Amino acid sequence: MGAAEESSALSRRSFAFAAGGAAVMLGLGTLKFVPTRPICRPPGGQDEDSFLGACLRCERCREICPQNVIVPAHLEQGILNVRTPTMNFKEGWCDFCEEANAGIPLCEGVCPTKALRLVPDFKPEEVVIGKAVINRNWCLGWLLKGCKKCFEVCPYEAIEMEQLEGLGNYNNSDYQRPHVIEDKCNGCGLCENRCPSMMNSSLTEGATDRAITVHAVTIQGD
Amino acid sequence: MKKLKANNLRAIVILGVVLVIAVGYFNLVGIGNLSDFGWGLISTICPLGFVETLLASKLLIPRAVISFFAVVAIVIVLGRVFCAWVCPVPLLQRWFPGSRKQQEKRIAEALPDAEALPAATEALPDAEALPAVDLLDEPSGDLPVQAALMPAETKLKLKSAAKPKLKGAAKPNNFKLDSRHVVLGGALLSTAIFGFPVFCLVCPVGLTFASVLFLMRLFAFGETTWTILVFPLVLVLELVFFRKWCKTICPLGALMSLISGLNKTFRPSIDNSRCIKTAQGVNCSACSAVCAENIDIRNPKTSQSSLNNCTKCRNCSDICPAHAISFPFLKGKQKTED
């Protein structure tokens, strides 16, 4: 069949559908340029561009996660991100499946298109899901109320307690403030998961979230 | 009107698929949804999603390739069976008010008159005794008798469509370009340019399953998001404004129709000795009127849509007043038309 004959098979009506549909597809592509704040991805999905190119939104990583930390992203987190996996550290945290699968993340294994991709001998410390940030208005520790939950639970020793000088007894733990050591934090989310702020109710005035939260960092390229 | 048995059976199968996936959303097995459905390393992958992610990520993942070829194999053996028996979109469309009425009217016009029908079916010749060949003056499709019996509109279409193709080697399974293929091209081009699977954003199958997921999460965790309103809204808009989404827009169906050209099994076959049109010249075109894909299986050569678009929905078989249509594994010799 020649090209002319082929196109003559398209009636005017279906030509409108064809042209319109193809145009809409190209138009939808430009949604990529809508600015969106980066969101935390499961381990292996840290290169955002290649992640978004390969993710099928099949939900398998979310379903298999033994910690239930993977959740589907909402429209509010970016049009392109809807239905893609993101991390909700209020539900759980990422132990890289240490408990469930001897340290090999199940989500990365189940991903059919390798949108989540880790090097075989990866080290959890090097897979940066995000970085924890302390909210100094809400953090009980920072407000010198004696809380150091995050410091106690962090598996990577990425939180240090700063002893305030001139504020009484050197051994008094009430005079310590938590700091995140950025180089050591990989955003596993255990601190956010265990932070007592907003766990049952607001502990500090105005708090609407945990006092330590993990935020995604953008990494471009390999 | 005749009840379409397969219609109900299909609805049950589709709801079953939705149920299995919905249950899977809340256990730790990780079976996924139709984008990639399976257990462990064994899975089927959405063929369009596969091609899109291949273009966008430029990564050839062996496992995804195997899943893709599994889907290709299914399409070769069963044709576009996904479109009728798995995809929730046609079912959603059927639930829209008015959609059924239109179809019923079309079928009522295509069925033979009530007084002609009993006589015709009673006088049905014994299929064994009468070889199908004897009943045909000419190969079907080009019968002048048939043309005369057709409504004027169809005749006109037939005339214009038949002319250039009579001499050409137009096989019934020939590929015919339609708007879906252009949309598919646009989706793939856009994906290649912008580097993410573009059609997935608006795919009604994806939107359906995501709507189910977000609804379940709303009830399970009190998770509120605009997505839960926006997704069903987009889905409804797509299906309201494009009543014939499957036939005119769907690039997934288009991709599968390209593969289903290789499908030779379970194709609808008419027993000419039973068909009241070929056997008795009764004016009936119910099988073509009921076809959601606009395939005229009585006249494959002049059909608006080619046989590779058949989704094996079995509506033609159900509607046929003479029960002359079957879906044999391979077309038997005695039932061959031309």
Domain-wise residue ranges, chain A: 40-127, 131-215
Confidence of residue B2 (pLDDT cuts 50, 70, 90): low
| Backbone φ and ψ of B199, nearest 5° | -65, -30
Q: What is the mean pLDDT of residues A109-123?
A: 94
Q: Best residue in A82, A84, A86, A111 to probe B by mutation, most B CBs within 10 Å? A: A82
Instruction: State the amino acid at position B299 in one-letter form.
Output: N
pLDDT in tens, B209-238: 999 999 999 999 888 999 999 999 999 999
How does DSSP classify residue B261?
Answer: G
| Backbone φ and ψ of B332, nearest 5° | -70, 155
Residue A152 has pLDDT above 70, yes or no: yes
Measured CA to CA, the distance from residue B315 to residue B226 in angstroms comes to 39
Kindly tell me the sign of the dihedral angle through the C-alpha atoms of B316, B321, B324, B329.
positive
A52 touches chain B (CB under 8 A): yes
B241 vs B136, which has greater pLDDT? B241
Angle in degrees, CA B10, B78, B182, rounded to 5: 90
Residue closest to A28 by CA, chosen among B30, B201, B137: B201
In CATH terms, the fold of domain A131-215 is: Alpha-Beta Plaits (3.30.70)
Residue B45 has pLDDT above 70, yes or no: yes
Contact A154, A113 (CB under 8 A): no
pLDDT at B168: 36
Angle in degrees, CA B27, A60, A125, rounded to 5: 105
Interface contact flag, A112 B61, Cβ < 8 Å: yes
pLDDT at A222: 38
pLDDT at B132: 40
Instruction: Report ipTM for this prediction.
Output: 0.86
Contact B297, B97 (CB under 8 A): no
Contact B333, B273 (CB under 8 A): no
CA B83 to chain CA centroid, Å, is 5
Share of chain B above pLDDT 70, in %: 79
Residues of B in contact with A19 (CB under 8 A): 182
Confidence of residue B198 (pLDDT cuts 50, 70, 90): very high
pLDDT at B154: 45
Please write down the HEC assignment for all residues of chain A. CCHHHHHHCCCHHHHHHHHHHHHHHHHHHHHHHCCCCCCCCCCCCCEHHHHHHHCCCCCHHHHHCCCCCEEECCHHHCHHHCCCEEECCCCCCCCCCHHHHCCCCHHHHHCCCCCCCCCCCCCHHHCCCCEEEECCCCCCCCCCCCCCHHHHHCCCCCEEEEECCCCCCCCCHHHEEEEECCCCCCCCCHHHHHCCCCCCCCCCCCCCCCCEEEECCCECCC
pLDDT at A174: 66
Interface contact flag, A32 B63, Cβ < 8 Å: no
Contact B312, B81 (CB under 8 A): yes
- B33 to B20, B214, B240: CA distances (angstroms): 9, 14, 24
A160 vs B164, which has greater pLDDT? A160
A97 touches chain B (CB under 8 A): no
Confidence of residue B302 (pLDDT cuts 50, 70, 90): confident
Confidence of residue A169 (pLDDT cuts 50, 70, 90): low
Mean pLDDT score across all residues of chain B: 81
Region A40-127: CATH code:
3.30.70
Which residue is listed with tokens 């699968």?
A101
Token code pair at residue B199:
């059609």
pLDDT at B17: 95
Ranking A132-146, B148-162, B207-221 by mean pLDDT, the lowest is B148-162
pLDDT at B157: 44
Interface contact flag, A57 B200, Cβ < 8 Å: yes
Ranking A1-5, A46-50, A160-164 by mean pLDDT, the lowest is A1-5
Q: Best residue in A47, A83, A101, A106 to probe B by mutation, most B CBs within 10 Å? A: A83
pLDDT in tens, B79-111: 999 999 999 999 998 887 777 777 788 888 888
Cα dihedral B236→B242→B247→B248 (10° resolution): -130
Q: What is the mean pLDDT of residues B322-338?
A: 71
CA B252 to chain CA centroid, Å, is 12
Token code pair at residue B256:
């599968």
Q: Best residue in A60, A99, A117 to probe B by mutation, most B CBs within 10 Å? A: A60
Q: Beta strands of chain B (E only): which ranges?
A: 36-39, 42-45, 269-270, 325-326
Token code pair at residue B102:
């239109």
Confidence of residue A124 (pLDDT cuts 50, 70, 90): very high
Share of chain A above pLDDT 70, in %: 87
Rounded to the nearest angstrom, the minimum Cα separation between B269 and chain A is 25
Q: What is the mean pLDDT of residues B304-331?
A: 90
Token code pair at residue B11:
């609805």
A120 vs A167, which has greater pLDDT? A120
Interface contact flag, A113 B57, Cβ < 8 Å: yes
Instruction: State the amino acid at position B209 in one-letter form.
Output: F
Residue closest to B292 by CA, chosen among B331, B253, B234, B329: B253
Residue closest to B16 by CA, chosen among B89, B88, B79: B88
Q: What is the mean pLDDT of residues B151-180?
A: 51
- Within 8 A by CB and 6+ apart from B134, the residues are none
pLDDT at B9: 93
Q: What is the mean pLDDT of residues A145-155?
A: 91
- A217 to A36, A110, B177: CA distances (angstroms): 13, 24, 46
pLDDT at A10: 63
Q: How many other C-beta atoms lie within 10 A of the C-beta of residue B117?
A: 16
Give the burial class of B144: count Cβ atoms within 10 A of its Cβ; 0-12 exposed, 13-18 middle, 19 or more buried.
exposed
pLDDT at B281: 85
B39 touches chain A (CB under 8 A): no
- Binding-face residues of B in 266-325 toward A, CB within 8 A: none
Ranking A207-211, B157-161, B206-210 by mean pLDDT, the lowest is B157-161
Contact B120, B299 (CB under 8 A): no
pLDDT at B96: 79
- Binding-face residues of A in 146-185 toward B, CB within 8 A: none
Interface contact flag, B50 A113, Cβ < 8 Å: yes
Of B50, B58, B187, the CB nearest to A25: B187
Contact A197, A138 (CB under 8 A): yes
B310 vs B171, which has greater pLDDT? B310
Which residue is listed with tokens 């893709």?
B68
Measured CA to CA, the distance from residue B135 to residue B224 in angstroms comes to 66
- Binding-face residues of B in 85-124 toward A, CB within 8 A: none
Measured CA to CA, the distance from residue B235 to residue B207 in angstroms comes to 6
Domains A40-127 and A131-215 share a fold: yes
| Backbone φ and ψ of B125, nearest 5° | -75, 155
